[in-house]
Amino acid sequence: MKKVDIIIADENHYKYAQEICEVIADSARVRGTGIAKRTPEYIQTKIQNKNAIIALSGNQFAGFCYIEVWSHGKYVAHSGLIVHPDFRNQGLAKNIKEFIFNYSLKKYPTAKVFGITTGLAVMKINSDLGYRPVTFSELTDDPKFWEGCKTCTNFNILTSKEHKMCLCTGMLYDPAKKNSKKEKWFDKAVLKRLKNIKQAIMLKNNKELLLWKK
C-alpha cells in the first residue's frame, strides 16, 4: 500500500481540479448513479476558501472531498467525496470522511452536518461518525443546495416529490445533541432492501407522472 497523506487543500493543488472532476464523473458512470456535476473552477473555489481536503501519495492524486456551507452557516455538508481507482479498497474513503468531518467541527462548531447519498458505504461511514438518518425536512431549506441536484439523473424524482423525498437518504449530525458514535443503527442488508423498495416505488410513480404529462 502506498503512503497517502490527507491535508487541507491550498492553491498548490489547483492543478488537480480537472482530474478530480473526471474521477467523480467516471465513478458515477460506473455505478450507474445520479450525481451533481462539478467543474474545475468550482473545485478551485472550494480550495481557495480552505473548504477542501485532498489525499496525495507523493504528487499522485488519491482522493478528495470538500465542505459546502448552507443557511448562513447553520448547516454544512461534505460533497465530492472521491477516491482514485488506484487507491480504492484500502479504507481511504473512511479516512478522508473522518478527516473532513473533524475539520468541519473545528471550523464550523455550531453547524449541523448533513448529507444525502445513495451509497451504502457512505451511509456506513456516516453512521460510525454519529450521523442519523432523517427526513429531508430536517435538512437545510436553502434553495441553492437543491439547485445543485439539477444535474443529477434523479432530479425529476426529487422535484415530483416537492424536495421531500428522493432515492438519496438524508443523514444528519447535530453537535448540540452530540449523537453517540457507538449507536449502531446501520444494517446493510435492511438498508439495501429498503433502498430497492424505495427505488421501485419512486420510479413507478415517476413513470406514471410522465405518462400523465403526455
pLDDT digits (tens, 9 = 90+) for 111-142: 999 988 877 888 888 888 999 888 888 888 88
Is 208's pLDDT higher than 60?
no
Using a cut of 0.85, tell me whether the model's pTM lies above it.
no
Greatest mean pLDDT range, 22-36, 81-95, 164-178: 81-95
pLDDT of the residue at 137 = 86
Non-local CB neighbours of 213 within 8 Å, separated by 6+ positions: none
- Does the domain made of 5-213 have the CATH classification 3.40.630.30? yes
Name residues whose C-beta falls within 8 Å of residue 145's C-beta, 6 or more positions apart in sequence: 68, 70, 77, 139
Strands 75-83 and 112-117: parallel
